[in-house]
Each structure stands twice: as C-alpha cells, then as structure tokens.
Chain A
Amino acid sequence: MSQSLDDMYREIILDHFRSPRGKKPLEHSNIESDGMNPSCGDEISLQVEMDKGVLKDVHVNCRGCAISVASGSMLAETVKGKSFEEVEKLAETVRKMLKGESSEIPDEFGDLDALKGVRQFPVRVKCALLAWVTLVEGMRKYRNGDSGKAVISTEDPEVTG
C-alpha cells in the first residue's frame, strides 16, 4: 500500500468511518445544522443539546466519504463539554492544520491528529472540514437568535476560509 494512502486513511480514521460516534439522534436539541459539500455530494446533519453554555451532547449523521464521516465522528467525540468559544478555537485549529497553515497540534487534540494526512490530498480538505463548518455556523446562528436552518455549503469561501 502506498505511503500516502495510509497517511490519509489512518487506522484511527477507518475505525471512526466503520463505527461513527454520535450516531444516536438527540431527543432534545437546541441547535440543528445541515451542511453539504456540493462537489462530492457529502451531506451532514448535526444536532446539539446545550446545557449551561456548553455542548452537552452532539448527534452527527454524515452521508459521505470516509474522511467526512470520520471527521464528523471525531467532532462528536471532542466537542462535548466545550463552550462555543472553545469549539470555535478548536475548529480554527483543525482548519489551519488541514490547510497546512499551522503544524501546531494541541495535546487535547486526540484522534483529530490523524486528520493531518488529508493535507496531502488538497481536494479532500473540504471533506474533513464539512462537520466543523456546519457546527460553527449552526452555533453562530443559535447565538444570534436565528432559528432558521440554512444548509451550509463548503463551496462558500466565507465558510471554509
């Protein structure tokens, strides 16, 4: 197997792809956000339950490639218990790592570190970003009191930076 293929499809990524976390739909959610990646056809739906300013629980339903599914699964695992500000900061670190703008990997990154192999496949960066931009946009709308549910697109440069 070629080195770069195993760099992208790390065992951790394949594990998240085969058994995604956050699969169970939430009974009570404060935030619902849908995202899509028009160029690949990846689609994601997120639900978030808020409690005392932190993300208490997250449900992720992603229909897409291994990278988008794994990234969504990792998101479900890492954002629980974090505040909006912490999630925004984490999403920005993920974005910088995927775009090769920063090699700084925080300790609490956990499995997310495995996504850095995606950097070698520029067309797949959007797949890895999908869950993150969908969550961040959903949080922003919630914070602004906007209850409408727009579909977030990774083709929007405002969204993916």
Chain B
Amino acid sequence: MARRMSADGYGKIISIVGKPMGLDVERIKADFPILIEPINGHRLVYLDSAATSQKPRVVINAILDYYRKSNANIHRGLHALAERATESYEKTRRHVAQFVGGVDPHEIIFTRGATESINLVAYTWGETNIGEGDEIVITEMEHHANLVPWVILAQRKKAILKRIPITVCGHIDLSSIEDIITSRTKLVALSHMSNVLGTISPLAEIIAVAKRHGAVVLADGAQAAPHMPVNLTTLGVDFYAFSSHKMLGPTGVGVLWGRRALLEAMPPFNFGCEMNREVRYDRITWNDLPHKFEAGTPNIADVVAFDAALTYLEDLGMENVRAHEMELTKYAIEQLSAIPGIEIQGPQEPEQRGGAISFTDPNIHPHDISTFLDSKGIAIRAGHHCAQPLVRTLGKVATARASLYIYNDQGDIDALCDALIEMRKYFGV
C-alpha cells in the first residue's frame, strides 16, 4: 500500500513520496478477469489500453453491488436508498478531487467522457468568451476530441484556429510559440499526453506564454491521468478533461475540472432537472456547482464504481504506475526497433513520453498487422486513432499502436515482437 487514509475515510489520501516501487504485475493480472479469456485460442495479450483499459474485479463488483444494494435516483428522494446512492455518487466526486491533487470537489463535474467534457467547455465557456478574430491555439497532435469542438467553435464564431507544430521526432515544437500565442489568443487547448505518439506536452512552457497573454488553458488529460501523477493545484491549467474508462473505471463517465470562477461564470450546458434551483415559466435560476452542469439523471452506477478504480490506482501509487510504464516503454521501444522494417513514431526517450507506441511497417498496412496479431490473441489498435490530421502530418495513412498499462509486462512485449517477426514472414516482405 503506497497510500494512507485519514481518519475521515476519503478526506485525505497521501502518497508516500519516495523511490518508486516496481509493480507486481503477476498479482495485478490476477485482478483482471478478462485477461484469462482465451482469444483465437491464445492467451490474451492486451495492448490497447490507450483505447480503453480493462477493469479489475473490484470495479466490476462495485457496479453489481450498486445495483444490488444502493440503486435509486440521486439528489431527489428522501428515502434511505436515495440517500445511500447520493452519498456514493458524491463520495466519488470527493475522491476524484483528491486524486487530482486535492482540488475543490465543487469544481469536479461528471460527464459522459473526456469528449463531452471538452464539448461542455466549447459550448459554454467558448460560446460566451470567443468572438470574431479571436484565436484558439491547439497543437498538431490533438485527438479529434480536442480538435473538432474547436474547429466548429472557430467556424461558428469566425475565430482563428492556430496550431503549435510538432518536430520530426514527435515533440511539441516550442520554437515559434511566441508567434503562435498572441494577445488575441483566448484559449490554448492541448493534449497532456498524445494518444498516438505518447508525447508528454511541455505544459509549463506553454502555460507561461498563454498566461502572459491572459489566455485560458485547457488540457486533454485522457491519456495522462491514467498513467502519471496529475496535480491540478500546481499544473497551471484552467480546465482539465479525462475519462474513467481509460483508468480502470467503467465507460460512460468523464470528468471536467475547471477553476471555480470560470465555471461559475459559464452558462449551463444541458437544461432540465437538477441544473436549476427555481423554475418559473418566465424565470429560471441555475443551481450551484457542480450541479449546474449535471442536468438529468447521471450515470450513477458507473460513477460509483469509478471510486473503486481510483482506489485501485492509489493502492499501486501513481508514481509507481508511471515508473513501471517508463521501464516497459523503454523495453518495448528497444525490442520493436530491433525488428527489421518496424519504424516507431514519436519520441524515443521514455521520460518524455507515455506507453502509447505507434509503429509502422513499410510494406504491411496497419490493418493487416492488427488482423495478424489478433490471430495470436494480441490486441492492438490500427488506423488513424481519431487523430487524422496528426497521422497525415506524420506522412502515414494509418499506424499500428501498442499501448501499455499496469497489467502488461515484458512477456507481453516479447509476444508482440515474436508475432511481428512471424507476420513479416507470413506476408513475405
């Protein structure tokens, strides 16, 4: 246990800072029932966690337990079950607030996923703060979730969308950042960690320039929050979005964190129940944070189960998760690079990247790579990874991507590399 609980249960969670401990991957694998599911007659080698992570038994059980013992609508009923469901739901909110560095739980808004979190900002903050001629700055390595909402907002408002380029090595190119972020820049929206290249953004440098011009900064943390410690009290961003399902939790739950002053000034996103305080035909007053942004019945069961995912990660320690993945990424890059023809996209240095490793073969299309690996029980992703402009920038039509998490070990990388060598023989290239 790399974690201590305070007397009041979920109040304070203190990571013991120190030398990272290696993860006991064998024990971790045993916590994930799906990993014993045979795929095409083989042991499952799951290397697609950047798409979605697998779920430990405690999360699966939490969903069952919720429906068996606590199911009721929240924030409304005056009966015992409604109170129990409300408390479980709000407990996760407090837990999320602690998990990201101890922010105010009122600043934690539950959504359907990181995509909806970003859309929420585009349609509320963006609607009221972006005007004609204003600049929105993104990077060349954005997932469509942090790209399309801004393209559409810029079109709607006649604003200007600008891009921070990436270098040939897959790093963010900071050389012309002073020209890109200007006094007209109202928003800088960028990925904390790329889902294609694994690149970790130099947030501090970019935030410093953005703040000098008074721009708001949104980070898409969908790939970062599951894999490294994230402290929103010191990171410097104004909005942060991430998804439960990429960090051991259920699908259908996302988080938007935003600074209180910004959230309070924003209009609601959806209208209906829960988001208002008093409703008359001619006048409606909005509810307080975070309820103003949570109209209707939310995904209660999955939010409740997300709590168990956060506990699981804290028990491992996010520093240890990061250390494990850095070590495994280093091993994977070494092993993959040794296979003739295989070309790795993105930074090679494990300190500057996460475990989403895109690779290509000059003669074999990523879809053929994926189909072949699948026949060996190895699950990877192939295609444009919902980042078409980035993949085009790389000069590719698609890439294959192996992505790592806490339940992967060197044996999984070896299985991948052995299969790739066999694949090249199979296709005769």
Contact = CB atoms under 8 A, between A and B. Distances in A.
A42 B367 CA distance: 10
Contacts of B426: 1, 9, 14
Interface in B173-217: none
A103 to B, nearest CB: 23
Nearest to A63: B397
B365 A1 contact: no
Interface string B62-90: 00000000000000000000000000000
A43 interface: yes
A17 interface: yes
B368 interface: yes
Interface string B370-408: 011001000000011000000100001110000000000
B398 A8 contact: no
Given A66-B365, A66-B427, A42 B371 contact: no
A14 B427 contact: yes
B428 interface: yes
A2 B365 contact: no
Interface residues of A, number: 23
A63 B368 CA distance: 13
B65 to A, nearest CB: 36
A39 B388 CA distance: 10
Contacts of B375: 1-2, 4-5
A63 B398 CA distance: 11
A82 interface: no
A75 interface: no
A8 B142 CA distance: 34
A18 B383 contact: no
Contacts of B391: 41
Contacts of A124: 367, 371
Given A40-B397, A41-B397, A127 B367 contact: yes
A5 B397 contact: no
A65 interface: yes
Contact of A40 (B364, B367, B427, B429): B367
A109 interface: no
Given A65-B365, A66-B368, A2 B41 contact: yes
Contacts of A43: 397
Interface in A55-100: 63-68
Interface string A18-58: 10000000000000000000011111000000000000000
A68 B397 CA distance: 14
B427 A8 contact: no
Nearest to B397: A41
B371 to A, nearest CB: 7
Given A65-B365, A127-B367, A40 B398 contact: yes
A154 to B, nearest CB: 13
A105 to B, nearest CB: 23
Contact of B428 (A5, A18, A41): A18
A1 B429 CA distance: 18
Contacts of B427: 9, 14, 17-18, 66
Give the residue among B375, B383, B429 with the most A Cβ atoms within 10 A.
Answer: B375
A115 to B, nearest CB: 15
A130 B205 CA distance: 46
A43 B391 CA distance: 15
B40 interface: yes
Contact of B371 (A8, A39, A41): A8
A41 B40 contact: no
A40 B383 contact: yes
Nearest to B422: A1
A64 B365 contact: yes
Contacts of A121: 371
Nearest to A18: B428
Interface in A121-145: 121, 124, 127
Interface string B257-282: 00000000000000000000000000
A41 B384 contact: yes
A117 to B, nearest CB: 12
Contact of B397 (A8, A42, A67): A42
Contact of B364 (A1, A66, A127): A66
A14 B371 contact: no
Contacts of A4: 40, 375
B44 to A, nearest CB: 14
Contacts of A67: 368
By CB atoms of chain A within 10 A, which of B365, B375, B396, B427 has the most? B365
11 contacts: A1-B426, A4-B375, A9-B427, A14-B427, A41-B397, A42-B397, A65-B365, A65-B367, A66-B364, A66-B368, A127-B367
Question: Which 8 A-B residue pairings sit nearest by Cβ, starting from the closest?
Answer: A41-B397, A65-B365, A5-B375, A2-B375, A41-B398, A65-B367, A66-B368, A2-B40
Given A9-B368, A9-B427, 12 more contacts: A1-B426, A5-B375, A8-B371, A14-B428, A17-B427, A40-B365, A40-B383, A40-B397, A42-B365, A64-B397, A65-B365, A68-B365
